[in-house]
Structure 1
Amino acid sequence: MRKLIYSFGVSVDGYINDRDGNIDWTTPDDDLHQHHNDRFREIELSLHGRRLYELMAEYWPHVPDDAPPIERDFARLWLETPKVVFSRTLTEVHFNSTLVSENAVDEVRRIKAEGDGVIEVGGADLAASLIPHGLIDEYHLFISPMVLGGGTPLFPPLDKRIPLELAETRQFSTAIMLRYVAV
């Protein structure tokens, strides 16, 4: 069975963006950016919600030739990695992507059962639909030194607790990574 990772930058008070939807406070330093690039090399399939897909598709396919090498490397990785985009409103997707407009939970169960590699989920709403069903195997939180006071929460309200085991910590100059494994 494939391992599903939910990885996101998050404020100290648990938000992935501010009240206006901005994520400009999560800009990674080179060390953290390299970590993301290296981790992304291990991803065989990336699951995107509509908003994250649109955000990524707006920037990464158009990274200029004079951008830093680390950004050009991630742009190449993002374009090459197959993506499944979950949306009820989009009619088409590009950049090595497949569009799914039906039940995300059932589709992710099917995708997980198809292999034994590593997949990731991006987008708080998509992840929120999967978390209550126990479909997330690891949580990678990149906590930035910022209190936002509101925005989109990393986790949805839940009916029951989810026990996690701390598997790794790592300090970067712009964030601290906490890697948790579902138990």
Structure 2
Amino acid sequence: MRRLSYGFGVSLDGYVNDRDGNINWTDPDDELHQFHNDRYSALEVSLHGRRLYELMAEHWPHVPETAPPIEREFSRLWLDKPKVVFSRTLTEVHWNSTLVSENAVEEVRKLKAGGDGLIEVGGASLAASLMPHGLIDEYQLFVYPVILGGGTPMFPALDHHVGLRLVETKHFRTVVMLRYVAD
């Protein structure tokens, strides 16, 4: 069975974007960017919520050849990686993406059962819809040294606890990565 990882940049006070929806405070340096490139290349499939997909599709397919090599590398990875986009409002998706408009929970169950590698979920709303069903196996937080005071929380309110075990920490120049697995 595939493992599902939820990884995201998060402020010290637990937000994945600010009150205006911006994530410009998460701009990675080369060390962190390379880590993300390596992590992304190891994924079998990337699951995107609508807002994340639109944000990524606005930028990564249009990276110019004059951009730094590390950005061009991620652009190629993102374009080539199979993606599943969950949205009730989009009518089409591009760049090696498949659109799913109904029942994200059942679709993710099928995707997890369809292999034995690693898949990731991107987007706080999509992850929030999967958490109550116990579908996320791993949480990878990239904690940024900023307090936003509001925005979209990384985690939704839940009716029950989710037990986690810390399995890895990594200190970068700009962030600390904490990786937990579900008990």
TM-score, normalised by the number of residues in structure 1: 0.99
Given residue 98 of structure 2, which amino acid in structure 1 is its aligned partner? T
Given residue 73 of structure 1, which amino acid in structure 2 is its aligned partner? E
For the residue of structure 2 that corresponds to 1:84, the secondary structure is strand
For the residue of structure 2 that corresponds to 1:75, the secondary structure is helix
> Aligned pair count?
183
2:116 paired with 1:134: no
Which runs of structure 2 are paired with 1:87-126 in the superposition (5 Å)? 87-126=87-126
Given residue 10 of structure 1, which amino acid in structure 2 is its aligned partner? V
Which runs of structure 2 are paired with 1:60-99 in the superposition (5 Å)? 60-99=60-99
Distance 1:40 1:55 in 2: 17
Q: What's the counterpart of residue 13 of structure 2?
A: 13
Q: What's the counterpart of residue 27 of structure 1?
A: 27
Which stretches in structure 1 are left out of the alignment for 5+ residues?
none
Distance 1:114 1:69 in 2: 33
Q: What's the counterpart of residue 146 of structure 2?
A: 146
Percent identical pairs in the alignment equals: 74
Q: Deviations for 1:108-163, whole angstroms, at most 9, x for unmatched residues?
A: 00110111111000000000000111000000000000000100000000000001
Distance 2:159 2:38 in 1: 35
Q: Deviations for 1:18-69, whole angstroms, at most 9, x for unmatched residues?
A: 0000101011111100000000111010000000000000000000111000
User: RMSD of the alignment, in Å?
Assistant: 0.4
Q: What's the counterpart of residue 56 of structure 1?
A: 56
The 4+ residue runs of structure 1 with deviation greater than 4 A are none
Which stretches in structure 2 are left out of the alignment for 5+ residues?
none
Distance 1:163 1:65 in 2: 45
